Structure 1
Amino acid sequence: MEATGAQWKGDIRKAFSALSSSHEGLSHSEAKTRAMHFGPNAVADKASQGWLAILFSQFQSPLLLILVAATFISAFLGDLFDTLMILACIIGAVILGFFQEYKSEKALAALRKYFTYRAVVLRDKQKEQLDSRQLVPGDIVFLGAGDIVPADMRIIESEGLAINESVLTGESREVMKDASSVPTGSSPQEIKNGCFMGTTVVAGSAKCLVVSIGGSTFFGKTASLFSARVPESDFHSKVRTFGDMVFKLVLAMALFVFLVNYFLGHGDKNPLSDSILFALALAVGIAPEALPAIITISLTSGSMYLAKKKVITKKLVAIEDLGNMDVLCTDKTGTLTDESIKFERFVDLDNNDSHDVLEYAFLCNAAVGNVYVKGNPIDVAIRKGGIAKKIDVSRFAKQQIIPFDFVRRRMGQVVMEGKKRYLVVKGAPESVISACTRLRMNGKETPISRNISVIKRMISGYNREGFTTIAVAYREVPAKAKYSASDENSMVFLGFVLLSNPPKATVKATIERLESLGVSLKIVSGDDSLVTAKLCSDIGLKITGGEVATGAMLSRLKPKELLRAVEKYNVFARVTPDQKLRIVESLRQSGHVVGFMGDGINDAPALRTADVGISVDSASDVAKEASHIILLDKNLDVIADGVEEGRKIFGNITKYILYTMSANNGNMITVALSSFFLPFIPMLPSQILLNNLLSDIPMLSIAADNVDEHYRKKPQKWDTGMIMKFMAFFGLISTVFDLLLIGILFFIMNADATTFRTAWFLESLLSEIIIVFSLRTTVPFFRSVPSTALVAAAVGVIALTFAVVYFEPVATLFHFTPLPLPILGLIAAILAVYFAATELGKVEFYRWISPAQKE
């Protein structure tokens, strides 16, 4: 439903009337009826693809276009079998690519169902928390700091409401909103009594009326917002760059092979056409065309595996980033400690339980709700504590809130009691102390300067016991139209709210597990340094650098000094959102792959900047939107699971690249050299394509293969230099044994063209399948157990290979002939020696050429 200009203008009662609603909201039955009429409150995701788009995207592959060209050439020359064979390869490649991408899209769609944005809605006169997709026009919704506005809404009432509308307007400056503002136009910038879908509540709270949902909102009508693709990860970018380089190399080699064979007059029928088809088939055969499928299969299966462990990836490539992570920055609340903060005491400066502190802390509070309490964790804990004590604040009337911000580190609330007005502030002790001139102790008010040391000793004592301390102060204020932070002065210090957050029982073992995986943990907390140090002591985390680095310390550091500090220290306390961001930026600048775990609105900048932003399903909407991974269970142990799975995926992708590139390099060199002395094309185009098709089957199962322990022990990074060395070293070994077979067949056994091609086809294909069991691991092959799927695929393809060569009419169709026992014995001997040479070469390669890859 779309809002008309009239719904923003005039008395709110007109908007209620137009939407057939009221201050009491809608009933469940009415909301259900409207949902059937208006549909879900959702905007189509343009980044996702339908099945038809996925199908057509398969034809964007350069390798597939080469096959299409080969089909036309073969058909033009009248070679029906080769034409059908190439068509079969095209259809097979399209079907495989389509189903893998379609499966990936379905997997992402399934994952999206796990994480939702929720809204507090008034239904049947009761506040409920619902999936925001269930909102309908006429609903009453309550907003608080950290929420992403779920629909276009007219403000009914608000307190200190500040909205960031940059997603719609491009302006990063916060916009103050209230119900009494009169719109000056019809654009979001001109409507100050409305909140719009996709924008962010920075501060304050509001009660609103939903006027537009889904595609009819300002956000929904801005289609360009959803057309942008997710940027490539560092790993994907390097794989793509490497693939482009290989593709150019393959084309250059194919052109060289074509020219040599053509000018030497090779070919059974026509040297020109036979050489062209051979070169094109060779280009397809030696290119790592299964790499996209390997990556898709690996990431899709990995994402579904992690989903079972309640780790949800918003984009599949985030799993790779998680595996490469070597530093994890996290707050302590809910990750190292129990999920919820607990209220313990409300105390005055005589260390007695204080009803006044309880009352004022309850009033100066942005949390909302009674049964379901929503807000930041500290306000929620205080509100729940007051409700548990059956507090009655009905004699007070809230007049205006002065929202919390991370510069002041406190919030204010103006309340009326009879004809008197009081300004109450609550926040970090040092911040509240700075706004006070007096304190109440022993029933009397005295200057705070005389007893500042007493207050600080109390704070230190509570913090050493592990309590988080929130200070409370007040003063009487005169009547005025608008209050601001500048009124927070000459306050009377009352006392403290004491909160506790004990460590999780499993956190010590989890930290040890992360360290064993090469992931260093850094605590980045807004809490007091003594409280943070007490937690580190409780969980056995050694504080590096000899002390907890505080926000005040960091604020004095220059950029280069900060780079050294983030390496030196592992525990940071009393840090601001900007400092969290600077810590993440500095770690990344030092070459680390950084994960950041946070759940508050203040964590969003660091979450966006980190290589891996991790949040939880109960986090603020802003934090969830900024993150890459969402945990349904706030538990560090599942992050360790994700790290291991990411490294397994990286290991298997790297395994495929190393093996395929070395085998293909060997094939390129062999074909190039043999073209100079063989009087015929060494393998027909149809045989090359069949070889390529059969050899790719076991390779697809590499995606689910077991990996060596060294891949899991430490973060892995893409190493082009190592890949090139591997490709040259093992490609050369492959070439030696290929040329050995070719030399014996041609010069000693005088094999005819058909026998030669059959023998080389058999040896080439069997060597590719068998040698993978050596190259899949850095250790002796018998010490690394391959997956059942890989073994089964290899056995199946070997059986199929002999069936193709020996059974009619398939053998005749592909121009194969039964091989005599001497040639079969020769092939078996060469394969055995080749495997042994590869095992020995592997030892030398990992000892001298690439020692960093050793287990």
Structure 2
Amino acid sequence: MLHGLSKSEVQKRQRKYGLNLVEGSHFNLFRKIMSGLWGFSAWVLEFALIVEIILKEYTQVFFILLLLLFAAVNGALQQKRTQQLLAPLKKDLKIHVRVLRDDKWQIISADQLVPGDIISLKQGEILPADVTLISGKIGTDESSITGESAMILHDENSEVLSGVNVIYGAGIARVIRTGNDSRVGKTVNLTKEQKANDGKLQFLLGKIIHYLAIIDTVLVLILFTITIVRHQNIINILPLMALLFIATIPIAMPSSFSIANSVEANVLAKEKVLVNKLESIQNAANIDLLMLDKTGTLTDSTFELTKIHNFSVYEDDDILALAKSATNKISPSNLEKVFQRMKIRRNNLKILNFNPFDINKKYSNSNVIFNGKRLDVKLGSPINLMSSSDWFKYVKKLNNKVVAMTINGKLAAIFEMTDHLRLDTRQTICELQKRAIKPMIITGDNFIAAQRIVQKLKIKGKVVEVSELSTIQNIKEVSAICEVLPEDKLMILKLLKNKGYVVGMVGDGMNDAPALKAADVGIATSNAVDLAKQSAGIIMQKEGIGSITDILDSGHRVYQRMMTWTITKLSRTAQLAILLTLGYWIANFIPINLNAIVLVAILNDLVTMVLGTDNTNISYNPERWNMQKLIKISLIFTIGWVLSGMLLFIGLFKLNIMPPKIGTIMFLFLIFSAMLTILMTRTRKAFEKGKPSKMVLAVIIINCIFVSVLSIFGKVVYPISWKWVLIIFIGTLGLAVIIDAIKVKYYNNIDD
């Protein structure tokens, strides 16, 4: 007879062993900075640095070194900030465990466990400590430790390590090691965190940077050809060639994405939504199809027995007592709780053996002696326990969830169960459809039961069986997939993704975990099992599914901010590269000195980094990455600023203004036009009507004042009068109004 530890013994052991927590690896700022000095972007800057050292241009060496360190240090600091933000959020995502103490089973946080505690284990749970199995049989997925995905079976007296997933069976175990003494604790410093997958937006923006690098390569070849034709020294043009690549480097991209996602992770945390994978936030903006597990997700998991179809020689109460004998007394499922709530006792019923629900067999079973007869009772899925003829005869036409029971291999009873929709389910489904997101219910229920739930939720489309799915041409016509087995969910998700949909998955059960992990955005509900929460990118802590709209809104805000970054980056990079190349071609000198160009890069990136805090207008439709449209809108700014810049440069050159002064004027033009471009790209309306965040506006104003002061006092650039600064600012502002009007007209035309 197990009794568990007493309260006083638990306190004594907690003082000795401490909490069941494993101290994670500390963030090493210096190591992160050093890693930022390695990679393509860093190599380009380092190459330019070497060139300037060879040419003994030590002032320019200083500015390139400043840019290199700025990128590395800023990237490391943003990673640290993100880690500090997510750390307290993830602490809220605690694992809970059923433990026997003072002769009572109770649920506690896993960090309160001590060696000697007796705990219950079942499918879908993660082992919170090293244990020895006392009774029962479990199968575990130990791929997190061994790398092998095959299930490992454990019998009584087997030692099972912490951190593994229970995927089969159930049992009782005694805790033998906790915290830093456990297997996870001993190896945590020897393991490396898996690198988070980039979101879809980073991947696509990375491709844009790749294309920009190709453009720069072409411009470099043009410069090289010009130099050869003019019989000039190639060494003299190397700094300009390096500059073209420096202009392309997305120094602020990692920081911009980190800030944008971190800001929204904090916003979601206030709405009781935990973010496990930052890239899930931005991917939420692209979701156009959302798979929703029915039981426990759309419904409240509280079942009621509505009807018994009794095919046996036993009375209904006897049938219920026998069904109750085949349920898990320690960790019952929601369906098993229906039978356990019934106050039915049979003195002539003795349980000899019990095997908990097997996710592969889809039933639990008990061996009992009832009225002097030995009976083998199985309780579970009708598909697995009934013949196909019986299933079509009795189950196919029922409109409720069904549990079957057999006695000695023969169908004894069918239990009809009903569950209830959560209070926010109808409203959330309605909102999803308004946002042009296709909700698709995934359920193991039969066709009639699935049709009933679809009608209640007013989801457009038809119900299909899982076997029909591959033959469906237009997935948008499907509202629900019925008769789904646990292993079908991942198959369905992969099929939908292969058809080009950006798929979100909402679930709560262990059998939802693979699909939650593979989905573009996996969302676990508040009642989800530990394995489902671990697999999901986002976890809702509020009951129900209403938080889905908060997740979608956050995704759209991140997406819009990054679109501002993208359009600005495209147009600014093209503008700078073309002006430098054409300027050198026409005037035979570099229009802007290297120090100023490095400063342009730094100041522009300072603004783009704070775009993560900018005000946005949320789009209520799935975002689509339209490269053609993106290039067109970028061309509006690029052509406008390049033509203006070239006219300004040629005019200054024709007026015989000396090159250093031209360089300062062009420097101011580049900064002013870049700041105004950010204001224009962040909204489809006229830029003066779109209110930026205080942080974005403040950095823009500070940048403009800063470069004006540098230009007037001759720091970094050649000094010019304040009148020139004012003329360039007013002229650039006037050009911005014209370019912005063209932008607004373009958006109005494509929206019509």
* Post-superposition offset of 1:157: 1.4
Change (3 A) 1:298 1:171: closer
- Quote the Cα distance in structure 2 between the aligned partners of 1:218 and 1:393: 46
For the residue of structure 2 that corresponds to 1:236, the secondary structure is helix
CA contact (8 A) 1:774 1:835 kept: no
* Post-superposition offset of 1:353: 9.9
Q: How does 1:36-435 map to 2 (within 5 A)?
A: 37-38=16-17, 40-42=19-21, 49-68=27-46, 70=48, 81-158=59-136, 161-168=138-145, 172=149, 174-179=151-156, 193-214=158-179, 217=182, 227-247=193-213, 249-250=215-216, 253=219, 257=223, 275-337=237-299, 339-344=300-305, 347=308, 349=310, 354-368=316-330, 374-383=331-340, 385-386=341-342, 389=343, 391-392=344-345, 396-405=349-358, 409-417=362-370, 420-429=373-382, 432=385, 434=387
* Post-superposition offset of 1:263: 8.2
For the residue of structure 2 that corresponds to 1:60, the secondary structure is coil
* Post-superposition offset of 1:260: 5.0
* Post-superposition offset of 1:32: 4.5
- Quote the Cα distance in structure 2 between the aligned partners of 1:537 and 1:226: 49
Change (3 A) 1:33 1:65: farther
- Quote the Cα distance in structure 2 between the aligned partners of 1:70 and 1:105: 32
Task: Show the counterpart of 1:804.
Answer: 710
* Post-superposition offset of 1:814: 3.2
* Post-superposition offset of 1:572: 2.0
Range 256-265 or range 698-707, more displaced: 256-265
* Post-superposition offset of 1:218: 5.2
Query: Which of 1 and 2 has greater Rg?
Result: 1
- Quote the Cα distance in structure 2 between the aligned partners of 1:133 and 1:256: 64
* Post-superposition offset of 1:602: 2.1
CA contact (8 A) 2:564 2:678 kept: no
Q: How does 1:764-779 map to 2 (within 5 A)?
A: 764-779=670-685
- Quote the Cα distance in structure 1 between the aligned partners of 2:521 and 2:728: 53
Residues 514-570 of structure 1: CA deviation (Å, up to 9, x unaligned): 11222110111122433333333333334x13xx323xxx33x4x841x53744321
1:25 matched to 2:13? The reply is: no
Unaligned runs of 5+ in 1: 1-21, 181-192, 369-373, 437-447, 475-487
For the residue of structure 1 that corresponds to 2:366, the secondary structure is strand
Task: Show the counterpart of 1:519.
Answer: 437
CA contact (8 A) 2:97 2:120 kept: yes
Change (3 A) 1:81 1:671: closer
Task: Show the counterpart of 1:837.
Answer: 739
1:549 matched to 2:464? The reply is: yes
Task: Show the counterpart of 1:184.
Answer: none
For the residue of structure 2 that corresponds to 1:361, the secondary structure is helix
Change (3 A) 1:261 1:401: same
Change (3 A) 1:256 1:217: farther
What TM-score, normalized to structure 2? 0.89
Q: 1:531 aligns with which of 429, 437, 449?
A: 449
Q: Which amino acid aligns with 2:433?
A: E
- Quote the Cα distance in structure 1 between the aligned partners of 2:146 and 2:48: 52
Task: Show the counterpart of 2:612.
Answer: 703
CA contact (8 A) 2:422 2:544 kept: no
Range 509-518 or range 22-31, more displaced: 22-31
Change (3 A) 1:111 1:246: farther
Change (3 A) 1:258 1:758: farther
- Quote the Cα distance in structure 2 between the aligned partners of 1:289 and 1:169: 38
| Count of matched residue pairs | 750
Residues 263-304 of structure 1: CA deviation (Å, up to 9, x unaligned): 8699xxxx8776444544453245332111111111111112
* Post-superposition offset of 1:842: 5.4
1:660 matched to 2:637? The reply is: no
CA contact (8 A) 2:350 2:369 kept: yes
Change (3 A) 1:534 1:219: same
CA contact (8 A) 1:152 1:196 kept: yes
1:736 matched to 2:643? The reply is: yes
Q: How does 1:606-755 map to 2 (within 5 A)?
A: 606-709=515-618, 712-747=619-654, 749-755=655-661
For the residue of structure 2 that corresponds to 1:677, the secondary structure is helix
Residues 184-226 of structure 1: CA deviation (Å, up to 9, x unaligned): xxxxxxxxx3333333333332111122345655566667875
- Quote the Cα distance in structure 2 between the aligned partners of 1:435 and 1:98: 61
What TM-score, normalized to structure 1? 0.79
* Post-superposition offset of 1:42: 5.0
- Quote the Cα distance in structure 2 between the aligned partners of 1:660 and 1:93: 16
- Quote the Cα distance in structure 1 between the aligned partners of 2:653 and 2:441: 68
Change (3 A) 1:704 1:260: farther
Q: 1:571 aligns with which of 480, 505, 512?
A: 480
Q: 2:401 aligns with which of 468, 474, 477?
A: 468
- Quote the Cα distance in structure 2 between the aligned partners of 1:567 and 1:513: 17
CA contact (8 A) 1:246 1:287 kept: no
